[in-house]
Amino acid sequence: MKKEKKPSFTKKLLAGKEKSTITVYLILRLLVIICMVAQAMHKNWENVFLCVLTLVMFTVPTLIENKLKIDFPSTLEIIVYLFIFSAEILGEIQNFYGIFKTWDTMLHTLNGFLCAAVGFSLIDIINREERFKIKLSPLFLSLVAFCFSMTVGVMWEFFEFSADRYLSLDMQKDRVVEKISSTKLNDENKNEVVTINDIEKTIIYTKDNKQIVIENGYLELGIIDTMKDLFVNFIGAVVFSIFGYLYVINREKYKGLEKIIPQVKRD
């Protein structure tokens, strides 16, 4: 008797998915593979690693579904795939972070939204299970989702800072700023702020007598980018928390929100 062929990893991964999800997944995976081959031909091994990492991250939604028995709606799953592709392939390898000033802001806003969705769904699923005695109010559910999203956002900023500090990367994206306000500029060493407006240029002198000139300002080392990222993460988290609250108080009226809210799998 012929042995039955075991389904491939891809078929297992896409089993039960909607056609739109499968289409988006396969197209994005093909683009990542093409990008990985191109980067390998140019011996950009760091970018090759990013491509491999992207392919691994594409499997995360399905792994979460199988391990936690959660059903990701097709719309939300497609958003997750596009988010991963936009952050790693377009953002890092194609330098969309440098080309489009709002690219990083857009992704951090979306990240706040998605993390709030995951946090909300996990607590909502527990809240609806009969074997758990704890029942949380809709307002508290939304608060937990918000806090979960902000915690993930803060942890990511910790990671960016550590990568910049210890690996000499620039994940926090330094920028040139024309104005500075600091007590360090006070000649009398008083705790009074001194403000300098319209900085024409700054000059950095290195130990080997090199001069680096920064025109129209000074180089700000990441704090503005970090606070901006946390702020837009906050906006995304608040938006989803409001959606989640409306969904819990009236699931029938706001049934359309099920397209972006993970549900518990039912046998």
Fill in the DSSP letter of residue 262: -
Write down the residue that tokens 């918000």 correspond to.
146
What distance in Å separates the CA atoms of residue 235 and residue 229, rounded to the nearest whole number? Answer: 10
In tens digits, the chain (267 residues) has pLDDT values of 455 566 666 666 666 678 888 899 999 999 999 999 999 999 999 899 999 999 999 998 888 777 777 788 888 899 999 999 999 999 989 999 888 889 999 999 999 999 998 888 878 777 776 666 667 788 988 999 999 999 999 999 999 899 888 988 777 877 888 888 888 888 888 888 988 888 888 888 888 888 888 888 888 878 888 999 999 999 999 999 999 899 888 888 888 888 888 776 655
**Sign of the CA dihedral running 159, 162, 167, 169:** positive
Total-model pTM:
0.81
Show the DSSP H helices in the chain as ranges.
9-14, 19-41, 45-57, 60-68, 74-85, 96-99, 103-128, 138-167, 223-249
CA distances from 64 to 59, 70, 254 (A): 9, 7, 25
Domain extent listing, the chain: 11-167+223-250+259-264, 175-220
Cβ-Cβ contacts under 8 Å for 92 (sequence gap 6 or more) = 47, 50
